[in-house]
Amino acid sequence: MRTVIQRVKRASVRIGKRTTGQIGQGYLILVGVKEDDSEKETTFLARKILELRVMADEEDKMNKSIVDVNGEILVVPQFTLYADTSRGRRPSFVKAAKPEIAEKLIEKLISELKKSGLRVEKGEFGAKMEVELVNDGPVTIILDSDG
């Protein structure tokens, strides 16, 4: 699994005129699932996300986790994180997991994140979404279960 974590002041996701997820201070997390990913990756990434110390402390240093600041999380499925652009000009997505597998693992990741007690919102798997955010910092971190 691959995630792009953006520290935000606020973020939302809309499908048409319907808002499906909206948060205040916290993380907007784009999530891609690779063809051979399993539940093991969801547990690993959830722990890393929750323990990542990129939230500001009283001196504006990145010393706190999202749990420490009681932040919020918006998870958005993003299969294009596994785009292969090594050949030609059109990306290939053959490394991305099949939709039925990816959706299950993203829901498992969300479930693991919710165990923290934080508010966790989400986009809609397979939908054309409009994602809006106000970046904080900006701080953007890429976490990959491969290392």
Catalytic residue among 3, 6, 25, 79: 79
Nearest to 29 by CA among 128, 147, 141: 141
pTM of the model: 0.95
* 131-145: burial string, b at 16+ Cβ within 10 Å, e else: bebeebeebeeebeb
Amino acid letter, residue 5: I
Chunk the chain into consecutive blocks of 10 residues (it has 147) and report each block's average pLDDT, rounded to whole numbers: 97 96 98 94 95 96 97 96 92 93 97 98 95 96 86
For residue 32, give the 3-state DSSP assignment.
strand
Walk me through the domains of the chain, giving residue ranges and CATH numbers. 2-144 (3.50.80.10)
pLDDT of residue 146: 79
Catalytic residue among 80, 85, 93, 140: 80
pLDDT of residue 106: 97
CB 71 within 8 A of CB 119: no
80 in active site: yes
Catalytic residue among 78, 85, 93, 125: 78
pLDDT of residue 47: 96
